[in-house]
Structure 1
Amino acid sequence: MGIMRNVAAAGALTALVAGTTAAFGATAHAAPNVTPQGVCGSAYKTVNSAPIGSLGTVYLTYNSTNGKNCVATIRTNPGTVKAMSTYVYVPSTDEWAGDSGDFTSYAGPSRVYGKGYCVSWGGNIANVYVSVENSNCAALKEHRSTTIR
């Protein structure tokens, strides 16, 4: 069952990255000095993060009031548009959300209800992809991977 969920999560990410831009077209966010709270909301506190090479960072945030996780991918140096994405997936509930397109400074917010659950999350900037599986839960050790395509 766990393998099927991992396959589903990988499939969801692939579909998100490949299909969302084609379906909705390219857009651009223009916001210098972006923070995870600026993208997700001031009630969201950063609980984890992963560098995307030297290009930026993907942040996992949590809002204890509503039990939601939010993920934002933020570039280190905003500028011309680059392909970017962000996703968050809760394997136990099969709920996921994501954002992808051509952006100047950030992708997201992507939010799911995650209170009491392990979450998988990640994002990309240009050709550098980061994923974190089984994150922020006591039962499992998280697994991080970075891929350059």
Structure 2
Amino acid sequence: MGILADYFIAPDDNAAEAILDRVGGPSVADEETGAPALPCTQLDMDPAAQLTWVAMMSPDTAEGAASQDMGATIGIRNEGEVAVMRLSTAGRDALAALATNPDDPEAAEVLVELADPDEILEDGAELVALAVQAKQAGHPLYLWMAV
């Protein structure tokens, strides 16, 4: 049994939650509503590592919690077979920073916990570009996962 994982941009949590009911996730247009596919990319990474990464990219300080800028689970469907999570703004911005500064020590510190940073940067170039696009638009970055 495989796991599909797409990182995507949506304007807000409500739009991201609507993806839970879309067959095929954010990378396909919704035939029922006519909603277009959303900007997204896949990153082949072990699902446990993906969840660890999402958690690591979410601030765990009292300041982060107070600002409500923590990553969050937006919704789960079909007894956990489909889920959407929002990365924290800090996580999105750390990814975006890699576009202009691939040696960013803060982002590298997070990435090195998961695998060789050069390997992640090579495989994650599209994710970094997506994070830049999300930051420029002022939109969150989300993770859609389906079993």
- Structure 1 length-normalised TM: 0.28
More helix by share: 2
The answer to which structure, 1 or 2, has the higher relative contact order (CA under 8 A, 6+ apart) is 2
More strand by share: 1
- Structure 2 length-normalised TM: 0.28
